[in-house]
Structure 1
Amino acid sequence: MNTTSYRHSLTQILSRHLMHAAMPGLMPAAPAAPRAQSPGKLPAALVERLLQQEEQRRLRGHGASITAPIATFSAPQPAAHRAATYSYPIHIERADIDALPASAGVYVFRGANGIPLYVGRSVNLRSRVLAHLHNHEEELLVRQTRRIEFRRTVGELGAALLENSLVRDLQPLHNKKPRQKRCLFTLRLSPAGQPQVAQVAERDFSRAENLFGIFASERAAQEALQKLVEQHELCSIAAGLEESAGEGMACFARQIRRCRGCCTGEESHESHRERLMLALEDLRILPWPYEGAMGVIEERDGWSQVHVIDHWRYLGTLDEQHQQLQARPAASLKGFDLDSYKLVIKPFLLQQLELRALPGLTLPDRA
């Protein structure tokens, strides 16, 4: 019986009750009968309560529980419930998942025939890999995966260095492809002291002096120089960005009061050069300051690893008792590496790295 039927039944009950009540006279000439109190309109809350009672009586007749709530929508399950009832992909080795530690390291998803699919890193390997498996947006990656490997590291630096090298060496299908271009652009001082855009082979960055910034294109280097001139109120003529219209003629920046007047003689060339070099200093590429490879020590919870760096390139990691690096593709062991440089240079300049010379270390052939 639906709600409409309930309301109709209730109306009949109330109607029968009202029919037996005293009714007022309808004719004007008739003597007025004693006025009975009009019941008026029943409150909505009362009607709803009566309907609920009738519904409960009906449910009793069918043996249903009147205390069970009636679901009107599908509420999302809590995260804890989803985790507890999650069914792991049966095509992935469960032992690989169970072996994942809650510590830092690098993981590799491998597909059929051991094909590398994805390389990632995390300070909590187990949590990160499970996040992949639970993510519906990565369904394709999970569906292709057959095995999951991992390599523990002491901390974040070792994990980041190892991830970069594995992506470069394994070329996994789902990672962003590493840059293949071997030539980059930089700013180099001309004999006249002007910064000029120059193309430099990647391997030369660890040896050359007075290089400022590393850029993927000539345009990016030119835009960086323009921004530096504007920020430090330098002269665009003295910086080589604008040709002079004649001796003592103001550059465009001076005309709008954004140059201190090196072009017009209001600022000396010596003062301008000092300010230019100070502005460039933040972009300076530091040549490798050692004769050979150095070890970056990373320690935690009584475990120590040595990350071997040579000419700003990560060569591998070894524990203190090992003195020889595992062989890697020769192409990944040549000269300067921009990814390794970016990871190491800031803590190096802030003197946050513990460095150690490695005189007895046997390095792979870097020819």
Structure 2
Amino acid sequence: MQSDSHRIDQASLAALPRSPGVYIFKGEGTLPLYIGKSIDIRTRVHSHLRARDEVRMIAQSRKVEFIETAGEIGALLLEARLIKQQSPLFNIRLRRLRNLCSIRLSKHSDFSVTPEIVSGHDVCPGEAENLYGLFGSVHAAQKKLRELAGIHRLCLGLIGLEKIGKRGCFGLQIKTCLGACVGQVDRSEHDLRLLNALDALRVHAWPYRGAVDLIEQQGDWIQKHRVQNWRYLSTWCSKTNQRTQFEQHEFDLDTYKILVKPVMLGTVRIDQI
């Protein structure tokens, strides 16, 4: 669809800035059709107008509103919050808070480790140690464990997905298990392969004692996004000298994904409270 074939108010398109923030496609009613974010709002909106797979959304749109932010992190956080609050018709991801589960490693007296699947109701993702992966269901977590077991030749019995019989696990019989379940391979060697397999899925515990401010600046404009235990609490804006409270009480996977890299890699300015 070309930009001249839509029915979107031209004044709303002309007002779009070339700066970071959130844009909102609206139709005849007050509810949004689609909410997105970009570091260049004008360019991103016009790319929607040319997208062939978005013809239905553009055909229903009548205007585009926007909210500027001082940086990309603020845009991402605002987008995720607005989508969860307003459930736009054409947004598929970020629409629902999920009941997450994770893989936790339990250590035993003989120094062996065993993975177990735990619910987010029973542990606090982002606060607890030894958590790996954030999954939408127990089945998804089990599927990931099976996938890793196949790649790293782990024993399905020792990782809790099968029973171990007198002759070992079934994987030993079909030669997918190296034999840790019957002592053919040292248990510590098996557990090291398990740890290596899970390492890329590590859920990082919050690295600070309390809340911090993530600071973004565009010219003289400063925004401070307050975060604690990967929960997005508020944003202070220098333009209004006010703090907008959000009080995100539950761990949210989308917020964690937005924050974990800039926080852990130190690519954003951080002030401890």
TM-score class, shorter-chain normalisation, is 0.7 to 0.9
Identical positions, percent: 38
The answer (yes or no) to whether the contact 2:97–2:252 under 8 Å persists in 1 is: no
Q: Does 1:274 align with 2:192?
A: yes
Alignment of 1:211-222 (within 5 A): 211-222=131-142
Between 99-108 and 134-143, the greater mean CA deviation after superposition: 134-143
Q: 2:48 aligns with which of 122, 129, 132?
A: 132
Aligned counterparts of 1:201 and 1:238: Cα–Cα separation in 2: 25
Residue 223 of structure 1, CA deviation: 1.0
The answer (yes or no) to whether the contact 1:182–1:202 under 8 Å persists in 2 is: no
Aligned counterparts of 2:102 and 2:6: Cα–Cα separation in 1: 49
Aligned counterparts of 1:354 and 1:260: Cα–Cα separation in 2: 47
Letter in 1 for 2:77: L
Q: 2:114 aligns with which of 185, 194, 213?
A: 194
Residue 344 of structure 1, CA deviation: 1.8
Aligned counterparts of 2:88 and 2:69: Cα–Cα separation in 1: 20
| Cα deviation 1:134-193 (Å, max 9, x = unaligned) | 556545434443432112223333322221111112222222264546422221234643
The answer (yes or no) to whether the contact 2:98–2:136 under 8 Å persists in 1 is: no
Letter in 2 for 1:174: F
Specify the alignment match of 1:150 in structure 2: 66
Alignment of 1:117-266 (within 5 A): 117-135=33-51, 138-176=54-92, 178=94, 180=96, 182-190=98-106, 192=108, 193-201=113-121, 204-246=124-166, 249-266=167-184
Residue 195 of structure 1, CA deviation: 0.7
Gap runs ≥5 in structure 1: 1-78, 359-367
The answer (yes or no) to whether the contact 2:83–2:95 under 8 Å persists in 1 is: no
Q: CA RMSD in A?
A: 3.1
Aligned counterparts of 2:127 and 2:242: Cα–Cα separation in 1: 25
Letter in 1 for 2:186: S
1:201 aligned counterpart, secondary structure: coil
| Cα deviation 1:299-330 (Å, max 9, x = unaligned) | 455654322222212234333576642244x6
Number of matched residues? Answer: 269
Alignment of 1:94-105 (within 5 A): 94-105=10-21
Specify the alignment match of 1:362 in structure 2: none
Query: Structure 1 residues 297 and 201, CA, compared in 2 at 3 Å: closer, same or farther?
Result: same
The answer (yes or no) to whether the contact 2:26–2:33 under 8 Å persists in 1 is: yes
Between 255-264 and 162-171, the greater mean CA deviation after superposition: 255-264
Gap runs ≥5 in structure 2: none
Specify the alignment match of 2:270 in structure 1: 355
Aligned counterparts of 1:136 and 1:264: Cα–Cα separation in 2: 58
Runs of 4 or more consecutive aligned structure 1 residues displaced over 6 Å after TM superposition: none
Residue 243 of structure 1, CA deviation: 1.7
The answer (yes or no) to whether the contact 1:311–1:335 under 8 Å persists in 2 is: no
Residue 250 of structure 1, CA deviation: 4.0
Aligned counterparts of 1:167 and 1:109: Cα–Cα separation in 2: 12
The answer (yes or no) to whether the contact 2:235–2:245 under 8 Å persists in 1 is: no
Q: Does 1:339 align with 2:259?
A: no
Aligned counterparts of 1:117 and 1:227: Cα–Cα separation in 2: 38
Query: Structure 1 residues 223 and 139, CA, compared in 2 at 3 Å: closer, same or farther?
Result: closer
Q: Does 1:109 align with 2:29?
A: no
* Higher gyration radius (CA): 1
Query: Structure 1 residues 271 and 142, CA, compared in 2 at 3 Å: closer, same or farther?
Result: closer
Letter in 1 for 2:204: L
| Cα deviation 1:198-218 (Å, max 9, x = unaligned) | 222298223333222111121
Query: Structure 1 residues 100 and 309, CA, compared in 2 at 3 Å: closer, same or farther?
Result: same
Which TM-score applies when normalising by structure 1? 0.63
Which structure ranks higher in relative contact order (CA pairs < 8 Å, sequence separation ≥ 6)?
A: 2
Aligned counterparts of 2:50 and 2:200: Cα–Cα separation in 1: 43
- Structure number having the greater strand percentage: 2
Which TM-score applies when normalising by structure 2? 0.82
Aligned counterparts of 1:325 and 1:112: Cα–Cα separation in 2: 32
Specify the alignment match of 2:207 in structure 1: 289
The answer (yes or no) to whether the contact 1:106–1:120 under 8 Å persists in 2 is: yes
Query: Structure 1 residues 242 and 308, CA, compared in 2 at 3 Å: closer, same or farther?
Result: same
Alignment of 1:315-334 (within 5 A): 315-320=233-238, 324-328=242-246, 333-334=248-249
The answer (yes or no) to whether the contact 1:203–1:334 under 8 Å persists in 2 is: no
Letter in 1 for 2:12: D
